[in-house]
C-alpha cells in the first residue's frame, strides 16, 4: 500500500512518498502553498497511485492545535471528499530534525527540509502500524481437549455394496469388535474402488463417535476416515493387521 506524507506550511508544503510496501517514507518534493495546491496534490496522488495520506498534526507545547491546523484540516477534508483516507501524525520537532545532517549537525538551510520533514512524519506513522498477519489456511485451531473428543478406530469391512439409485454411495458393514456386532456405515467412496467387494476384509480407519445419521434413508453409524480427494484420495489403513476396534491416537 502506497502512502503520501504531507508537511503543511503556510508558504511551502513538503511531500513524501512511501515505498510500495508502505514501510518507510522518502522525501519527494516541495509544493508552493498557493491556489493550485489541492489540484497539484490530487494530480500527484493519481500519478503515484497513492492509497492513503498522512498529514502532520501540528500542536504547541500545551497540546493545543497550532494556527495552521485549521488549514490542514481543510485540505484533509477536501482529499477525504474524494474518497482518500487521511491520517494525522504528530509532527512536533520534525522540521528541526529534518534540518540535521547524517551526523546530527544542524544545517543552516536546505531546499529539501520540508520534504524531509514530510518523510519523517510519514515514517513515524508507518512504523506504528501493525502489519496484517496472514491468516493460516485451513480450519480454526482447536484445543487438545476438543481433539480428544474425536474417536478414530480401525474397523474390518465385512460386507460392501452399492446403494441403489446413487453414483457415489457404498453401504458397508464394519466390525469394530463390539458386542453389539458390526456397524452399518454409508460412505461416498464408490469412485475410489473398482468393485465394492474389493473392500471386504480390508482394515480402514473410521470416526466412531459421531451421532448416527440417515443418508438416502439408510442409517449410517460412523464415518470413513480418509485423506485427499480426486487423484490424491487414499484410505487410512494400518501397516499390519490389528484387532478390530483398535483406537488411533
Looking up residue 15, the CATH number of its domain turns out to be: 3.30.420.140
Q: Judge if 104 and 195 occupy the same domain.
A: no
Q: Judge if 27 and 69 occupy the same domain.
A: yes
Q: Judge if 117 and 192 occupy the same domain.
A: no
Tally helices (H) and strands (E) across the chain: 5, 14
Q: Which pLDDT band, with edges at 50, 70 and 90, does 102 fall under? A: very low
Q: What is the pLDDT of residue 103?
A: 39
pTM: 0.49
Q: Judge if 15 and 40 occupy the same domain.
A: yes
Q: Judge if 114 and 182 occupy the same domain.
A: no
- Please state the rounded mean pLDDT for residues 111-126: 86
> Is 240 part of any domain?
no
Give the CA distances from residue 112 to residues 11, 29, 87, 247, in Å, rounded to whole numbers and listed in that order: 14, 8, 23, 72
**Contact indicator for 124, 130 with CB cutoff of 8 Å:** no
Range of the domain at 154: 144-235
Q: Report DSSP letters for 33-94, one per residue.
A: -STTHHHHHHHHHHHHT--EEEEEE-B-TTSPBPTTHHHHHHHHHHHHHTT--EEEEE-TTH
Number of domains in the chain: 2
> Is 139 part of any domain?
no
Q: What is the pLDDT of residue 98?
A: 45
- Please state the rounded mean pLDDT for residues 29-51: 95
Q: What percent of the chain has a predicted confidence (pLDDT) above 70? A: 88
Q: Judge if 68 and 37 occupy the same domain.
A: yes
Domain ends where: 127, 156, 184? 127
Q: Judge if 119 and 8 occupy the same domain.
A: yes
pLDDT tens by residue, 188-221 = 999 999 999 999 999 999 999 999 999 999 999 9
Give the CA distances from residue 218 to residues 71, 109, 164, 181, 222, in Å, rounded to whole numbers and listed in that order: 75, 87, 11, 18, 12
Whether the pLDDT of residue 5 is over 80: the answer is: yes
Q: Judge if 116 and 158 occupy the same domain.
A: no
Residue from 97, 106, 109, 55 nearest 79 by CA: 55
Whether the pLDDT of residue 63 is over 80: the answer is: no
Q: Judge if 15 and 59 occupy the same domain.
A: yes
Q: Judge if 180 and 117 occupy the same domain.
A: no
Amino acid at each position: 500500500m502506497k502512502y503520501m506524507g504531507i508537511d503543511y506550511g503556510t508558504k511551502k508544503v513538503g511531500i513524501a512518498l512511501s515505498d510500495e510496501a508502505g514501510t518507510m517514507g522518502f522525501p519527494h518534493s516541495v509544493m508552493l502553498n498557493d491556489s493550485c495546491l489541492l489540484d497539484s496534490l490530487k494530480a500527484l496522488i493519481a500519478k503515484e497511485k497513492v492509497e492513503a495520506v498522512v498529514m502532520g498534526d501540528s500542536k504547541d507545547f500545551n497540546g493545543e492545535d497550532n494556527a495552521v491546523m485549521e488549514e490542514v484540516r481543510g485540505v484533509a477534508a477536501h482529499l477525504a471528499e474524494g474518497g482518500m483516507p487521511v491520517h494525522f501524525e504528530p509532527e512536533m520537532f520534525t522540521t528541526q530534525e529534518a534540518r540535521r545532517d547524517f551526523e546530527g549537525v544542524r544545517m543552516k538551510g536546505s531546499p529539501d527540509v520540508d520534504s524531509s520533514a514530510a518523510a519523517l512524519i510519514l515514517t513515524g506513522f508507518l512504523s506504528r502500524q501493525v502489519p496484517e498477519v496472514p491468516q493460516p489456511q485451513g480450519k480454526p485451531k482447536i484445543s487438545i481437549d476438543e481433539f480428544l473428543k474425536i474417536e478414530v478406530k480401525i474397523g474390518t469391512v465385512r460386507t460392501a455394496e452399492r446403494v441403489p439409485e446413487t453414483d457415489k454411495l457404498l453401504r458397508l458393514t464394519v466390525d469394530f469388535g463390539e458386542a453389539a456386532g458390526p456397524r452399518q456405515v454409508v460412505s461416498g467412496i464408490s469412485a475410489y474402488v473398482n468393485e465394492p467387494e474389493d473392500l471386504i476384509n480390508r482394515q480402514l480407519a473410521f470416526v466412531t463417535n459421531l451421532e448416527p445419521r440417515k443418508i438416502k434413508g439408510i442409517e449410517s453409524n460412523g464415518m470413513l476416515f480418509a485423506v485427499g480427494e480426486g487423484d490424491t484420495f487414499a484410505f487410512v489403513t494400518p501397516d499390519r493387521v490389528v484387532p478390530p476396534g483398535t483406537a488411533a491416537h
